[in-house]
Amino acid sequence: MSRSLTRLIEQLTNLPGIGVRSAERISRYILRMSIEDTRKLTQSILEARQNIGFCTRCGNLTEEGLCSICSNPSRIQNQICVVEEAFDIPVIERSGVYSGLYHVLGGVLSPLEDVSPAQLRISELLERLEMEEVKEIILATSATTEGEATATYIAKELARTGIRVTRIARGIPIGSDLGLADEVTISKALRGRENITGGAAD
């Protein structure tokens, strides 16, 4: 096998979910692509990597300082939906039932993987609550053991603020990521959210 091909396959297998077989299949496809299409593909990967950063307020992905949601004045400003990853935001957006703001944690608490509260953007959330007038925090971490533990931890941290804290309903099957849930499930989960602390339910 040529050295370039070996190297391409090697790079592809570094990606999640791509084994040697898949890497070989993708390589075969790439070798049949035009140079122009190949350039577009590599250019878009490079551009995404170079241009996309994190919103300074919520942690969403953005090419500006503030993301498109934080900089949109028509969003409900006193509701924050707390999610694990920025990729959960488009999933909730597609459900069309939520028009508040977000806060990205950047993961979940996991003793096994050595993820402690300090590694998540929890202190940033508490700081936001001092600056912004927030009426409700919706905890939308996934229904996994780690997701539940993270929601419980944050609810406890928020208890002293007196802000209403809710948890999305368990419409999402246990163990599945929010990112994999469909729009109907997400909208049911959001509409059926339950009070944990503070305030009165709608």
Site residues for Zn ion per CB under 5 A: 55, 57-58, 60, 67, 70
In the complex, the smallest distance separating the C-beta of residue 86 from Zn ion, rounded to whole angstroms, is 9
In the complex, the smallest distance separating the C-beta of residue 100 from Zn ion, rounded to whole angstroms, is 12
Kindly tell me which of 77 and 145 has the beta carbon lying closer to Zn ion.
77
Query: E strand or H helix at 158, and its extent?
Result: helix 145-159
Paired tokens of 85: 């990853």
Q: Say if CB 126 and CB 105 are below 8 A apart.
A: no
Q: Say if CB 147 and CB 176 are below 8 A apart.
A: no
In the chain, the N- to C-terminal Cα span, in Å, equals 65
Alpha-carbon distance of 166 to 164, in angstroms, equals 7
Kindly tell me which of 12 and 101 has the beta carbon lying closer to Zn ion.
101
In the complex, the smallest distance separating the C-beta of residue 93 from Zn ion, rounded to whole angstroms, is 12
Kindly tell me which of 31 and 48 has the beta carbon lying closer to Zn ion.
48
In the complex, the smallest distance separating the C-beta of residue 198 from Zn ion, rounded to whole angstroms, is 24
Kindly tell me which of 77 and 161 has the beta carbon lying closer to Zn ion.
77
**Ramachandran sector of residue 199 (left: φ over 0; alpha: ψ -120 to 50; beta: rest):** left
